[in-house]
Amino acid sequence: MKKSIYVPIVILCALAAPLTNMEARSHPTPSPTPHGPTGRLIVQRAANFGTDLSIRLLVDGKRVANIPRNQHYGGVLSAGRHTVTALVLPNIQSRRPTTIVVRIKPGKVYIFTATWDGDRLVLRPSDYYSPTTRANR
């Protein structure tokens, strides 16, 4: 009789183990915190950017965020030279990504607004930050 009780419990535990493992992997891995002097980078969308478009943002070739409507990217970067690349999604018109170089100075905040120059996505330096929700990474 005892065997019949333990077998379902063992089977239940074996089935539950992969589920808890899957849940742990579904959460994004946080970016490592830079060591040493840092600055802050914010990339926001212009109000007229497009409701059905999002921006894929890469810093130094690594994807850091997809920025949908009413959201922004806010990250901490180590001081020094960084390459920031933005691409419109969905990219049905095969637009080329826009890339800028930012030299981060310790303690400074760098704000860029993604906007349009004709049919080309550009990242313009901005003095104004429009509070929105932070984009998931």
Residue 24 has pLDDT above 70, yes or no: no
The model's pTM? 0.72
Residue 21 and residue 127: Cα distance in Å, rounded?
44
- Sequence ranges of the domains in the chain: 38-134
Residue 37 has pLDDT above 70, yes or no: yes
- DSSP letter (8 states) at residue 95: P
User: How does pLDDT run across 57-88, given as a tens digit for each residue?
Assistant: 999 999 999 999 999 999 999 999 999 999 99
**Max Cα-Cα span within the chain:** 77
Task: Tell the CATH topology of 38-134.
Answer: Immunoglobulin-like (2.60.40)
